[in-house]
Homo-oligomer: A and B are copies of this chain.
Amino acid sequence: MRLSRFFLPILKENPKEAEIVSHRLMLRAGMLRQEAAGIYAWLPLGHRVLKKIEQIVREEQNRAGAIELLMPTLQLADLWRESGRYDAYGPEMLRIADRHKRELLYGPTNEEMITEIFRAYIKSYKSLPLNLYHIQWKFRDEQRPRFGVMRGREFLMKDAYSFDVDEAGARKSYNKMFVAYLRTFARMGLKAIPMRAETGPIGGDLSHEFIVLAETGESGVYIDRDVLNLPVPDENVDYDGDLTPIIKQWTSVYAATEDVHEPARYESEVPEANRLNTRGIEVGQIFYFGTKYSDSMKANVTGPDGTDAPIHGGSYGVGVSRLLGAIIEACHDDNGIIWPEAVAPFRVTILNLKQGDAATDAACDQLYRELSAKGVDVLYDDTDQRAGAKFATADLIGIPWQIHVGPRGLAEGKVELKRRSDGARENLALADVVARLT
């Protein structure tokens, strides 16, 4: 993409409304624009990252055997009356009446709707286990939306729902999602730690939150540092096999949010040198809630013995839009964002340090053409900004690799390659750059 044809509205000033660094950087880097309190437009740079995150989430859900569908944003109020949550949900639910005065709501989550879909079609244990997910916009009418995409009102969530004949099956489904989440966040370059959690309005008796450590996080957390070094299963993990050893390994090391923290256990189990009390950002949560929704909504299947029984369910959320904020909180410096490669909006940016100089333009054009032909996502800064401004923009928007192309280096046939993560620079022959990056 040529920057002269892109839409990247960089802000020079720090926006006053942004209280945390991820919000500030997303606004400054031209990723996001607020359209109403807690409601954002995703400008092209932000949209590219959102799509990459969404795709990683999708691939790992698919790998774990979950099946994608797509439920609508609006739901009938009557559906939520069946489960009893319509009145219970409170003012965070956005309630709507259509032209015929029919009561709708903007879905904050989809346990009711997926249960309605399930019970309409599935009658026998033979169709189970089943895990259905979607990636869709949700709305929660926060009293005080803030922190940009970290506590927005309209937000993108991946939510999966598992259906099993009994608790043993449901725990297997739960474990699959647990492992899929370990892989999902690791692929994004994050250390997200599963922690025992309260179940809140979803209900149930088993839940883990996946939490990224960051000083600016909303929750206090207590962990054993050993949890930071546990291995994440690779892509060959067998989801049909026994996952309990992985789960045991990850849940036997102490890690808990302050809500469920047990100081006595912490002190007896965790050597003092290993204790870490810090803050974290929740990026996913998984629940086993048994028959909570299948009881109230009569989602039964016929078992092998011919009797009908309510299915055992779980739900599994990933905050897709929130992840942008979490990644930036974890990956930035004073100059801007430092995208992990897997979620970067572009992998490489070419900075033309003397736009209009024939040799420099030709070298940049050639690099741009060759890298694009190899399938590398390139942002080519071909604007007439001065070199200093191009360096600042490149650091701010956080593309992993910068290629600095100017007349001085080119006189010796060289360009400079800068790695954004640590600032490491190397001089390379122009002819070697493409091979170095592919």
Shortest Cβ gap from A114 to chain B (Å): 9
Knowing A91-B99, A94-B96, A98-B141, the reply to whether A7 touches B69 (Cβ < 8 A) is yes
With both beta carbons as reference points, the residue of chain B lying nearest to A141 in the complex is identified as B99
Indicate if the CB atoms of B73 and A117 lie closer than 8 Å. no
* Cβ 8 A contact of A113, one of B41, B72, B73: B41
Decide: B75 and A35 in contact? CB cutoff 8 A: yes
Within 8 A of B (CB), among A81-129: 91-92, 94, 96, 98-99, 102, 104, 106, 113, 116-117, 120-122
Task: Find out whether the CB atom of A72 lies under 8 angstroms from the CB atom of B41.
Answer: yes
The yes or no answer to A387 lying at the interface (CB within 8 A) is: no
The interface residues of chain B lying within 8 Å CB-to-CB of A116 are: 35
Please, how many angstroms separate the alpha-carbon atoms of A154 and B39 in the complex?
19
Distance A250 CA – B57 CA, assembled complex (angstroms): 43
A42 pairs with B65, CB closer than 8 A: no
Give the most central of A72, A74, A137: most B CB within 10 Å. Answer: A72
- Taking a contact as CB atoms under 8 Å apart, the answer to whether B44 and A154 are in contact is no
Residue of B nearest to A45 (CB): B69
A71 at the interface (CB under 8 A from B): yes
Q: A104 — nearest CB in chain B belongs to which residue? A: B36
Chain A residues 108-164 with CB under 8 Å of chain B are: 113, 116-117, 120-122, 130, 132, 134, 137, 139, 141, 143, 153-154
Q: Is the CB of B35 within 8 A of A76?
A: yes
Task: List chain B residues, Cβ under 8 A from A39.
Answer: 72, 74
Report yes or no: A113 in contact with B6, Cβ–Cβ below 8 A.
no
Once the chains are docked, how many angstroms separate the CA of A41 from the CA of B116? 11
Select the residue from A40, A42, A69 with max chain B CB neighbours within 10 A.
A69
* Nearest-Cβ distance from residue A166 to partner chain B, whole angstroms: 19
Main secondary structure, interface of A, reads: mixed
Chain B residues positioned under 8 Å from A72 (CB to CB): 35-36, 39-41, 137, 154
Q: Which of B36, B117, B130 is in CB contact (< 8 Å) with A74?
A: B36
Residues of B within 8 A of A98 (CB): 94, 141, 153
A419 in the interface, Cβ–Cβ < 8 Å?
Answer: no
Asked if A73 and B73 make an inter-chain contact with CB atoms under 8 angstroms apart, the answer reads: yes
Q: Could you tell me if A69 and B42 are in contact, using CB atoms closer than 8 angstroms?
A: yes
Q: Judge if A33 is at the interface, Cβ distance under 8 Å.
A: yes
- Among A7, A91, A117, A134, the most chain B Cβ lie within 10 Å of the Cβ of A7
- A413 contacts chain B at the CB level, 8 A cutoff: no
**Knowing A117-B41, A154-B73 touch, does A65 contact B35 (C-beta < 8 A)?**
no
Task: Kindly state whether residue A47 has any CB partner on chain B within 8 Å.
Answer: yes
Given the known inter-chain contacts A98-B94, A121-B9, please indicate yes or no for A73 contacting B35, CB distance below 8 A. Answer: no
A5 and B65: CB pair below 8 A?
yes
18 additional A-B pairs beyond A36-B102, A41-B72, beta carbons within 8 Å, are A5-B67, A7-B67, A9-B121, A33-B120, A35-B75, A36-B72, A40-B72, A41-B113, A41-B117, A47-B69, A47-B70, A74-B154, A96-B96, A96-B106, A98-B141, A99-B141, A99-B143, A137-B137
Return the 5 tightest CB-CB contacts between A and B, nearest first: A9-B121, A42-B70, A91-B99, A41-B71, A39-B72
* 6 A-B contacts (beta carbon < 8 Å): A7-B69, A33-B120, A36-B76, A41-B69, A41-B113, A73-B73
